[in-house]
Structure 1
């Protein structure tokens, strides 16, 4: 079956286009890698103690350079996009698929090259099966050149900054290894999102016009992005669920890194202030690309999710907040992320916490059926 995306070309394009990392000596590089591995294990203990989530035993982070991050993410894309590539590949003429796969390969490679110089780390949730056919639970990856570049640019304490980054990424590892159904839930939602696409020629042409409009709007300073431009109404419902859970896990990561920070990262206040300013910066072209790729939406997720977690923990305690991990039905909706009292009223049944705007409240989490209990990149 012809490939829908030429993954080898995507890797080659990304590696060719990605900017080189900062200049470091051999000893500096070796010391950075050693310290990041050590701090990733140290961070896991702080996160488990603070959150009360019983996760898998800690493992050292995988440390990569920018090309290594590109290769790892192509492996993840293959896993996530397999349902769609199987569907499209089986219905597309060979010559169209052959040409299209090279075009999309170059496009994917260019996007990865842009992101590879910005991502500090991530918990790789979707990995190829091992030689026995088993799906790995995930892998914590840190991009050493980007961390070194950021700490130099911000003029912050390297050890403190590295531990601060590890706290965020380790929170994701704790989330997904301590809440067994969460990974399966996300993958099922993403598979449904991809496979309900209507792929006839008329629809594809209409989507291309929507993408063109989104690009034009982004250059005018609007909020349009490519993901929203190509989705169907049915996909929007699913994307709302995925957005809500990703806002939760990203916000939880930001909340934990800053809550744990003062006791183990002495300069956390300085780091947070400088990093927040850096996130909002960049050239106009950089900002446009980030908006088109939905990265600006991700930045909002950090803030909105962190505000949700902080509000619930302040009023219901960490044990009350951890009810969020009970099942898909206890995950917050996008509306509840914006108004935490709605979630507390629905899930915690607390009459002491009346929901705001109850006429707009919902009784459940989008009507989803909980999956069986048998076991999504930190751009700045």
Structure 2
């Protein structure tokens, strides 16, 4: 359509010009207080950062683009991850030696650890983590950003008065661009915060570094372990083993990364904006009060219930993350048995995970997707049972193909998994497996006398479930 054919209002302005001017007035004409905007978004009240944020939104309106503006993401991420400390030459040498020893220990307990990584594991900075993980975040976030942008357009179309719909329909590229710019800034904030918290490349469960790469962040590891009465060298070795276990697992099971990314994409397809719920929530609150608005946003009231398809995708994702972290826990425990404080470090890792790991914070902030491996304790016990009854080779062979991997049902009933893998259920004493699982789960009632009578012994797997600790 030419300029001559484009509908204009009574003043001769094109509809998208009118909409752009209205939004620019909101963003840059003094109608929105940047300090209040920062408070609502949970951003630091940095005048330079806020000014840059508003400029980027205005830029998105004037020059609509397809997809996320990754320069916006990078700028926001590096700003949030400030106080980036370079890795010293002494640290580089120390970490290189730790990775070398960790590799030897790992190959003693798993055949998965015998694969060759494409490059040497190393120590990296926060900024390097952002750069190295960029491609993965782009792959994961693309579908999410598109879904949010589409939901924003649908909401505006549904709620706009009839006289504005024609103008909005002609301005859809600009609306999409604004939605993706806002998502990009939020993503940058999340990644910047992640860069300040992650201890290693595999810390969030998802393989965010390039395939087969392994790395630790000395700055963050030092901050996390500050005040602990454990030698820093022990902590370094423990996390070097964990990181190598993650990297080797993804090298061995090459299908695993794509499987996880597809699960996130499936969840993103179901993202929508519940306008009725927003209206009900906003109707009774003072929208001019930034503190009240902030509380509503943080409460999650505006996040619509997950669809059945999203629930399925979420369950698949949680199960897979539990299987990955459970396997890594078992392998790390075996490989670090020489470390005097390995159990104490493992317990601190579990507590860190229980209080909200980086993955949960990242995806929760982005799309309301809480990636918490809720069944991690049971998955760890399952891997331990398989290891003790069938051996490490049989355990690791389950990662050879996606169809061979244990399911959520296997996590719930690991005795049946062992029976199936052993090939002869007659040779596996169900009661023995039942008691063994109870021991692995830390059930104090499992120690002492064996179960009396035969009535309950045939109901293996149903009478020993304990409340999660």
- The aligned residue for residue 135 of structure 2 is 75
- The equivalent position to 2:190 in structure 1, one of 108, 111, 123, is 111
Question: TM-score scaled by structure 2?
Answer: 0.59
Are positions 1:320 and 2:390 aligned together?
no
- The aligned residue for residue 133 of structure 1 is none
Conserved 8 A contact 1:151-1:157: no
Mark the runs of 5 or more structure 2 residues left unpaired by the alignment: 1-63, 154-171, 282-293, 435-458, 463-469
- The equivalent position to 2:329 in structure 1, one of 254, 268, 271, is 254
| CA displacement 1:281-306 (0-9 Å, x = unmatched) | 69xxx9x9689558985364543432
Shift in Å, 1:233: 1.4
Q: Which has the higher contact order (CA 8 A, sep 6+)?
A: 1
Conserved 8 A contact 1:309-1:321: yes
CA distance in 2, matches of 1:320, 1:218: 48
Shift in Å, 1:332: 1.9
Higher mean alpha-carbon deviation, 347-356 vs 150-159, is at 347-356
Conserved 8 A contact 2:200-2:217: yes
- The aligned residue for residue 45 of structure 1 is 104
Shift in Å, 1:245: 1.9
Shift in Å, 1:241: 2.2
Shift in Å, 1:120: 0.5
- The equivalent position to 2:77 in structure 1, one of 4, 7, 14, is 14
Higher mean alpha-carbon deviation, 323-332 vs 343-352, is at 343-352
Shift in Å, 1:30: 2.7
SS at match of 2:197: coil
CA distance in 2, matches of 1:189, 1:275: 25
CA distance in 1, matches of 2:378, 2:194: 22
SS at match of 2:336: helix
CA distance in 2, matches of 1:171, 1:307: 18
| CA displacement 1:77-102 (0-9 Å, x = unmatched) | 11233455578879962111221122
Shift in Å, 1:185: 3.3
Mark the runs of 5 or more structure 1 residues left unpaired by the alignment: 128-135, 361-380
Are positions 1:94 and 2:154 aligned together?
no
| CA displacement 1:146-190 (0-9 Å, x = unmatched) | 112223232321111111001111111111112233334334444
SS at match of 2:123: strand
Question: After superposition, where does 1:119-158 map in structure 2 within 5 Å?
Answer: 119-123=198-202, 125=207, 137-158=211-232
Shift in Å, 1:312: 1.8
Greater radius of gyration (CA): 2
CA distance 1:154–1:281, shift in 2 (3 Å): farther
Question: TM-score scaled by structure 1?
Answer: 0.71
Count the aligned residue pairs: 332
CA distance in 2, matches of 1:337, 1:278: 23
CA distance in 1, matches of 2:95, 2:145: 36
Conserved 8 A contact 1:80-1:126: no
| CA displacement 1:182-208 (0-9 Å, x = unmatched) | 3343344444444xx256xxx433698
- The aligned residue for residue 369 of structure 1 is none
CA distance in 1, matches of 2:393, 2:144: 39
CA distance in 1, matches of 2:379, 2:296: 27
Conserved 8 A contact 1:47-1:174: no
Conserved 8 A contact 1:80-1:191: yes
CA distance 1:94–1:181, shift in 2 (3 Å): same
- The equivalent position to 2:124 in structure 1, one of 52, 64, 82, is 64
